[in-house]
C-alpha cells in the first residue's frame, strides 16, 4: 500500500485534475481547488505536487498550443495515468474503510450531533 501512498494535498490535486479532465493546467487546478474547498493554494506548492506526481508516474503532462496571452508559451496540461488511478482508488478504499469502521454509536451520540 505504501507504494501508492498519496498525501492529502496530492490526492486533492489528482482529484481536481480528474474533475478538469482535458482542461487541467496549473492555474485551472489552483482555481478549482480554491473554489471547491475554499482553501488557498500557492502556485509553488501546486507545481511541486504536480511535478512530484508526474515523477511517480501518477500524472503525465503535455503541451497545449501557444497563445498570445502567454507570450507564445504553451500551457502544460496534466492527465491521470492508469497508475495514478490505481493510487486514487487505493486512497479512496483506505478512507472508506476508516469511515466504515467508526461505530454507529459515535454518529448517534449527542456529542457528535452537537458538533454539526
Tens digits of residue pLDDT in 13-48: 999 999 999 999 999 999 999 999 999 999 999 999
Q: Angle formed by the axes of helices 82-101 and 8-20, to 10°? A: 120
The DSSP element (H or E) to which 52 belongs, if any, is: helix 43-56
Query: Could you tell me the CATH number of the domain that includes residue 87?
Result: 1.10.10.10
Determine the pLDDT at residue 30. Answer: 98
Per the structure, the complete domain to which residue 32 belongs is given by 2-114
User: How many domains in the chain?
Assistant: 1
Count Cα atoms within 13 angstroms, Cβ side, for 94. 14
Q: What is the pTM of this model?
A: 0.83
| Averaged pLDDT score across all residues of the chain | 89
| CA distances, 5 to each of 11, 60, 87, 93, 114 (Å) | 9, 18, 7, 12, 34
Amino acid at each position: 500500500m505504501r507504494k501508492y501512498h498519496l498525501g492529502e494535498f496530492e490526492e486533492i490535486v489528482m482529484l481536481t485534475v480528474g474533475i478538469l479532465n482535458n482542461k487541467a493546467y496549473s492555474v485551472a487546478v489552483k482555481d478549482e481547488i480554491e473554489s471547491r474547498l475554499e482553501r488557498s493554494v500557492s502556485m509553488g506548492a501546486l507545481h511541486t505536487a504536480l511535478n512530484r506526481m508526474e515523477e511517480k508516474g501518477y500524472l503525465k503532462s503535455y503541451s497545449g498550443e501557444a497563445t498570445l496571452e502567454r507570450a507564445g508559451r504553451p500551457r502544460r496540461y496534466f492527465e491521470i495515468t492508469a497508475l495514478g488511478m490505481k493510487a486514487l482508488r487505493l486512497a479512496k478504499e483506505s478512507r472508506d474503510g476508516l469511515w466504515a469502521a467508526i461505530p454507529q454509536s459515535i454518529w448517534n451520540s449527542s456529542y457528535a450531533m452537537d458538533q454539526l
